[in-house]
Amino acid sequence: MSETTDPPITFYRLQGCPFCERVTRLLKEYDLEYRSRFVEPMHSERNVVKRVAGVRTVPVVVDDNTGVTMAESANIVDYLESTYGEGDRPDAAAAGAGGDD
Amino acid sequence: MMDFEVVELGPTDHPEPGEEAPEFTRPLVTDEFWEDRTLSELVGESDGTTVLVFTPMTGSFLAKYIWDELTERNWDERAGRVVGVTASTPYGIKRFLGDNDYPFAFFADPSNRVAESYGIEHELDGMTGISEPRAAFFALDDAGTIEGAWVATNWPHFPDYDELETELGLE
C-alpha cells in the first residue's frame, strides 16, 4: 500500500471550540497541511495536550517545519500570519472577522 | 445450543483472502484523542499482520465480550497491529476505552459505510435508522492483501477463537 507522509503541522482541537475554529480558518486560508487531533471536552483529561504543550487548553499547534509548539489562539494566529502570511496576509477586515477572544 | 432458532444473518459478499482490503479513512480513537487515519497508513506502520476487528457498537455486550477475549489472548502482542472498527461515535468509543483497559485503538464509523464497503453491514431490528457491523475479522499482510477472514452469520455469533487464530495466522 502507498506510503504517506505526515503533515508537518499537528493541531490539537476541541469540537465546537470557537478559538480552535479561528485557527482552522487560518490554516485553510494559508493552504497548510495539518492533522487534526480532537481531544476530550473534559479539561482534566487532556493529558496529551499537557504533555506536548505544558497546558491543558486548546487550541495547540505543533509545527515541525519550525519546531514551534504554541497554545492560545491569538498567539497562534500571530505566529501563522508571521510565518506563513508573508505577501499573502489577510486584510484587517478578514482577520478581525475571525477574532472572538 | 439453544432450543430455538437464533437469528440468521444470511450470506455476505465480503472480501476473501487474496483480495485487497478496501481502503478507508476514519477518525482513529485512542484513549487520548482521535484523528483521521487511513487503513493503508496503519498497514504501512504495522510490523507484521494487521487485524481489522469489526464489532457491534461499543456499549453492546457483544463488543465487550470480543475485546475482553482479545485482550485476554494478548492479540496486541501476537499481531503487528489490531484495530477495531465500529459504528460508535468517537465520544462513545473514548468512554468504552476509559471503562475498559484495552491496548487497542478503534476507527469510529458512525455512518457504517466502512462495514458496507466490506459487505458486512447489519440493520438492527427495532432501532430504525441504525446500521452497524456484524462481528468480523480480517487479517491483512503488509501490502494490505487479505490473508484470513471470519464473518458472523448468526446474531449473536462469536468465533471459536482458537480456530480464528489459525485462520488469521496468529501464532
* The total number of residues written for chain A in this structure: 101
Residue B44 forms contact with A (CB below 8 Å)? yes
Residues of B in contact with A37 (CB under 8 A): 33-35
Grid cell of B137 as nine digits: 475479522
pTM score, whole prediction: 0.83
DSSP state of A27: H
**In the beta sheet, which residues pair with residue B18?**
none
DSSP class per residue in B66-80: HHHHHHHTTHHHHSS
Residues of B in contact with A9 (CB under 8 A): none
* Whether residue A100 has pLDDT greater than 60: no
- Over residues B117-167, the pLDDT tens digits come to 999 999 988 889 999 999 999 999 999 999 999 999 988 889 999 999 999
State the best of B30, B31, B35 to mutate against chain A, taking most chain A CBs within 10 Å.
B35
Residues of A in contact with B34 (CB under 8 A): 37-38
Burial A70-83 (b: 16+ CB within 10 A, else e): bbbbeebbebbbee
**In the beta sheet, which residues pair with residue A35?**
A10
Q: Which of A1, A37, A40 comes nearest B94 by C-beta?
A: A40
The Cα B95–Cα B32 span in angstroms is 11
- Find the farthest-apart pair of alpha carbons in chain B and give their distance in angstroms, rounded: 47
* Whether residue B76 has pLDDT greater than 50: yes
DSSP state of B111: T
- Over residues A1-13, the pLDDT tens digits come to 545 578 999 999 9
**33-92 of A, contacting B, C-beta below 8 A:** 35-40, 47-48
CB contact under 8 A, B36 and A35: yes
The phi and psi torsions of B169 (rounded to 5 degrees) equal 75, 25
State the best of B20, B26, B32 to mutate against chain A, taking most chain A CBs within 10 Å.
B32
The Cα A36–Cα A38 span in angstroms is 6
The Cα B140–Cα B48 span in angstroms is 9
Q: Stretch B31-51: mean pLDDT, rounded?
A: 95
| Higher pLDDT among residues B92 and A45, named by residue | B92
- Burial class from Cβ neighbours inside 10 Å (0-12, 13-18, 19+) for residue A42 reads exposed
Q: What ipTM was estimated for this complex?
A: 0.72
Residue B13, CB-side half-sphere exposure with 13 Å CA sphere: 2
- Give the model's pLDDT for residue A13: 94
The Cα B151–Cα B144 span in angstroms is 18
Distances (CA, A) of B31 to A6, B46, B58, B99: 21, 19, 14, 10
Residue B99 forms contact with A (CB below 8 Å)? no
* Whether residue A93 has pLDDT greater than 80: no
| Higher pLDDT among residues B150 and A98, named by residue | B150
Residue A5 CB: number of other CB atoms within 10 A? 6
- Give the model's pLDDT for residue B20: 98
- Give the model's pLDDT for residue A96: 43
CB contact under 8 A, A38 and B35: yes
- Over residues A39-90, the pLDDT tens digits come to 988 888 889 999 999 999 999 999 999 999 999 999 999 999 999 987 555 4
Q: Stretch B16-41: mean pLDDT, rounded?
A: 97
CB contact under 8 A, A4 and B40: yes
Q: Stretch B90-112: mean pLDDT, rounded?
A: 96
Cell 470480543 locates to: B66
- Give the model's pLDDT for residue A92: 43
Residues of A in contact with B27 (CB under 8 A): 38
DSSP state of B81: E
Residues of A in contact with B33 (CB under 8 A): 12, 37-40, 48
Output helix, strand, coil percentages for chain A, rounded to the nearest 5: 40, 20, 40
- Give the model's pLDDT for residue A99: 40
Mean pLDDT of chain A: 84
Mean pLDDT of chain B: 94
Residues of A in contact with B96 (CB under 8 A): none
| Higher pLDDT among residues B171 and A9, named by residue | A9
* Whether residue A16 has pLDDT greater than 70: yes
